[in-house]
Chains A and B, each alone.
Chain A
Amino acid sequence: AQSVTQLDSQVPVFEEAPVELRCNYSSSVSVYLFWYVQYPNQGLQLLLKYLSGSTLVKGINGFEAEFNKSQTSFHLRKPSVHISDTAEYFCAVSALDDKIIFGKGTRLHILP
């Protein structure tokens, strides 16, 4: 079975500052890792995914994440946030062709 832990329920950050949203996972099998974003009153949008290969994954909107197998982490980063990045961010895992297990989410607050 897989599980995902997002340690921070809310992260406030000033506009144009860098941000890191933390995610740790556990699994007994190889997994795919994902970050999804959910803007207020909207659905889920895939930011990026890690399947294999390079551990640094670049996604949309300037986000990137680094897979660290030894630390079982998949932290999301952005060097400079904008007000439009205000949203809920979900880390998620799945095994091949399997259901997706989501973390509880981190709400990103951009401060002016």
Chain B
Amino acid sequence: EPEVTQTPSHQVTQMGQEVILRCVPISNHLYFYWYRQILGQKVEFLVSFYNNEISEKSEIFDDQFSVERPDGSNFTLKIRSTKLEDSAMYFCASLSGAYGNTQYFGPGTRLTVL
């Protein structure tokens, strides 16, 4: 079965540093998403991406965040200047867009900001 992959599985960074989280969605999927889960809390939507542009973003997704699909296969989330409160599990998901299909989630990247 096809799957969404994410790298790295765990990223440790210093506050103020830039990080890039990488995702490889399922190849024929058209919609891409990032979610985050702060430890012990619920999963929250960050941003959705379709047709090479952001289709929706949450209030969490401020100017420090950006997304890109640089080469038609990878889907990246960049945090320009990390804060302590950015520490969380970040999940990528993709969706084909066909009726009845659902989002496939990657295994997540655990980001720890020190």
Chain A interface (Cβ < 8 Å from any Cβ of B): 32, 34, 42-44, 46, 49, 51, 90, 92, 94, 96-105
Contacts and interface: CB of A to CB of B under 8 A. Distances in A.
Nearest to B105: A44
Of listed A32, A46, A99, A102, residue having the most chain B CB within 10 A: A99
A44 B107 CA distance: 7
Contacts of A46: 102, 105
Interface of B: 31, 33, 35, 41-45, 48, 56, 91, 93, 95, 97, 99-100, 102-103, 105-108
A97 B95 contact: yes
A99 B33 contact: yes
Given A32-B102, A44-B91, A97-B31, A104 B41 contact: yes
Contacts, number: 44
A49 B102 contact: yes
Nearest to B45: A99
Contacts of A51: 100
A101 B107 contact: no
B107 A34 contact: no
Ordered nearest first, which 3 A-B pairs have the shortest CB separation?
Answer: A43-B107, A99-B45, A102-B43
A92 B105 CA distance: 14
B91 A43 contact: yes
A9 B106 CA distance: 25
